[in-house]
Amino acid sequence: MASDFSRTLALLRKEKKISQRTAAMDLDVSQALLSHYENGLREPGLGFVIRAANYYGVSCDYLLGCSMAREGNITSNKVKEISSPSELTEAHRKTINNAVSLLFDISEQTASKQLSDEIAGYLSLVIYKVFRYLYLADPERIEAAFRTSSTQFDGLCNAQIALSELRIKSAALGSGEFGLESEEIHMPSLTPTDLTRNFPNISQSMLTLLQSVADVIEPHQNIRRGDKRTH
């Protein structure tokens, strides 16, 4: 991890005038681990970088020392604060478009001849499903417009999506499973520092998307059978 990150992380905490103990509690890490991050002794994962950027109100690029501008693309917290539907739509559009572009850029750097096709196929399935859901809400819809009936497309898409996910994993590893050919893959480093350094214009959108999804799925990870949710 670049020394800029450690220095910036410590400076932001001091600028906020809070103790290391308080910051560690708020960031859901131990004080010892935060101390290691601030002193450059340990390298954090993407989750911590995104939480810290949101916590201190700066972009991940700024926190990682890849930009002098504190404000980058819209973070997940800022998206929630936007009130105008048109602004919110544009924010989501930009985040999704950039994140998808980043996936294909990463795929291109692997030198795989199959990974981009598998990613495109997976995304096409998801888009197809969403459009069919919207189409079902159209009172003037014509059932014959699609070859697959409205009662069957959901399950069939889910089955194909499950297979597509396995093929993406195989293509990313170059293992040649599930009908793919084995390849020598050159996966670029996707650590927070390298991600922002290698993809400076669109990496923030991916980090925003990762945080947004984490906000949705992480509350469920510790729920066990029989546990009652609190509302």
85 pLDDT above the threshold of 80: no
Exposed/middle/buried for residue 127 (C-beta within 10 Å: 0-12, 13-18, 19+): exposed
- pLDDT score, position 230: 42
- pLDDT score, position 1: 43
Identity of the amino acid at 130:
V
Q: How confident is the model at residue 205 (pLDDT cuts 50, 70, 90)?
A: confident
122 pLDDT above the threshold of 90: yes
- pLDDT score, position 115: 98
Q: Which residues pair with 175 in a beta bridge?
A: 182
Following CA atoms 38, 190, 158, 113 in sequence, which dihedral angle do they give, to the nearest 10 degrees? 180
Instruction: Please report which residue ranges of the chain form alpha helices under DSSP H.
Output: 3-15, 20-26, 31-38, 46-56, 60-63, 76-81, 85-109, 115-136, 153-173, 192-198, 203-217
**DSSP type of residue 187:** P
If phi > 0 it is left, if psi is from -120 to 50 it is alpha, else beta; for residue 182 that is beta
Exposed/middle/buried for residue 19 (C-beta within 10 Å: 0-12, 13-18, 19+): exposed
Q: Residue 62 in contact with residue 52, Cβ under 8 Å?
A: no
133 pLDDT above the threshold of 80: yes
With CA atoms as reference, report the closest residue to 190 among 172, 217, 178, 171. Answer: 172
pLDDT tens digits for 14-58?
988 999 999 999 999 999 999 999 998 888 888 888 889 888 888
- Domains of the chain with bracketed CATH: 3-77 (1.10.260.40), 83-211 (no CATH)
Q: What is the mean pLDDT of residues 140-149?
A: 92
